[in-house]
Amino acid sequence: MKALVIEKEDLIHNIRAIKELAKRNGTDDSKKPYQIIGVVKGNGYGLGLIEFSKILVEQGINILAVSCVDEAIRIRKSNINADILLLSSTCIQEEVQELIDNNIILTIGSTMAAEIANRLAKAKNKKIRAHIKIDTGFGRYGFIYDNIKEILEVYKNFPNLKIEGTFSHFAQSYERKLAYTKIQFDRFISVIETLKLNGINPGILHICNSSAFLQYPYMHLNAARIGSAFLGRILVPNKIGLKKIATLNTQIAEIKTLPTGYNIGYSCTEKTKNQTKIAIVPIGYADGYNVKASNDMFRLIDRIRDLYRATKALIKRGKLTVTINGKKCKVLGQVGMYHTIIDITKIDAKIGSEVVFDIKPIYVQSNIRREYH
């Protein structure tokens, strides 16, 4: 049996730490409470969409955000009492109609998206809620930041859109270098100031994701989109005591002893130096273990670093470990699709002993059971 085990109390600890940081750093409008938007995309970052959403709402997070229509509808049909924001703009009429019918807050990222949403809302005699997305240099959804005329028109010309917020998204907020993040922030603020000068209320303003929220308090504005920080898995310094909340757990399925000089795993990349007692564990890369983000997500320098790490790992074996009976044990050879080989020579372990894998929950396959403890 295998399960992604989530420590609910640690998750609640993280939620409260994030809310306290928001409270400490204030808001640009003291009359309104700071809004933490709980991002639950990717099956709740792997924690289970509905279960994760319910806990966030129980802890006072009343706006949830997703990236795809299906997840927005699933939350709505689960009777979770929260606003739901779809972060992606869409011009697909069938999707927009479904979002309107289920009272999902739309993201409008183009004039065409605005036209379609306004027309469908008018046909239903409804005024639908929406946020406007500004592309400040990510090159994905949103109005290009310097196309001021088009941006102004979308706020003024679509009476069936109730615009409640304006936002953008950082491209490099997880990095130590501030330069491009600051450029994006300044572009966003410039757009907001122009809107206000034209008598437009842009609604709640949010540009920070988890990394930016933790690193740049002056960019907090009056809302932030938090996802990975709830899990305690961040790419920036952890200064507020966030805890990693989940592990992938299974049991030892088989034990055997290998002789000295015996090859282990695919490609014979490792050989025993001494007689070695091994445990065979039914978790592999198909379950999400030892899986990384695709190389095409990053810059050339990131690919070089990834290649360097991979080369170093080939040279220095034993880098991967799991925990058995509270003790770290080395992973031997390459991780297979459904199995991992563990060195248990120096520990007391038996068939059925629990094996704990440190893993990013978002990589864990959705067919694996989620357990909240």
Residue 51 in domain: yes
Q: Which pLDDT belongs to residue 318?
A: 52
Q: Do 186 and 93 belong to one domain?
A: yes
Q: Is 312 exposed, middle or buried (0-12, 13-18, 19+ CB in 10 A)?
A: exposed
Each of the 373 residues of the chain gets a pLDDT tens digit; together they read 899 999 999 999 999 999 999 987 755 455 678 999 999 999 999 999 999 999 999 999 999 999 999 999 999 999 999 999 999 999 999 999 999 999 999 999 999 999 999 999 999 999 999 999 999 999 999 999 999 999 999 999 999 999 999 999 999 998 888 999 999 999 999 999 999 999 999 999 999 999 999 999 999 999 999 999 999 999 999 999 999 999 999 999 999 999 999 999 999 989 999 999 999 999 999 999 988 665 444 444 444 444 444 444 443 445 899 999 999 999 999 999 999 999 999 999 999 999 999 999 999 999 999 999 9
Q: Do 213 and 350 belong to one domain?
A: no
Q: Do 23 and 153 belong to one domain?
A: yes
Q: Do 303 and 201 belong to one domain?
A: no
Q: Do 226 and 255 belong to one domain?
A: no
pTM of this structure: 0.90
Q: Give the relative orientation of helices 8-25 and 49-58 as an angle to the nearest 10 degrees.
A: 50
Q: Do 168 and 266 belong to one domain?
A: no
Which domain, by its residues, includes 33? 7-231
Indicate the number of domains in the chain: 2
Residue 371 in domain: no
Within 10 angstroms of residue 160's Cβ, the number of other Cβ atoms is 19
Give the whole-angstrom CA distance, residue 115 versus residue 352.
59
Give the whole-angstrom CA distance, residue 333 versus residue 320.
10
Q: Do 100 and 192 belong to one domain?
A: yes
For position 305, which CATH number holds? 2.40.37.10
Give the whole-angstrom CA distance, residue 105 versus residue 93.
15
Token pair in block for residue 198: 């034209």
Q: Do 84 and 116 belong to one domain?
A: yes
User: Domain ends where: 202, 231, 260?
Assistant: 231
Residue 366 in domain: no
Q: Do 289 and 221 belong to one domain?
A: no
Integer CA distances (angstroms), 272 to 269, 276, 318, in order: 10, 7, 12
Over the range 123-145, which residues count as b (16 or more CB within 10 Å of their CB) and which as e? Answer: eeeeebbbbbbbbbbeeebbbeb
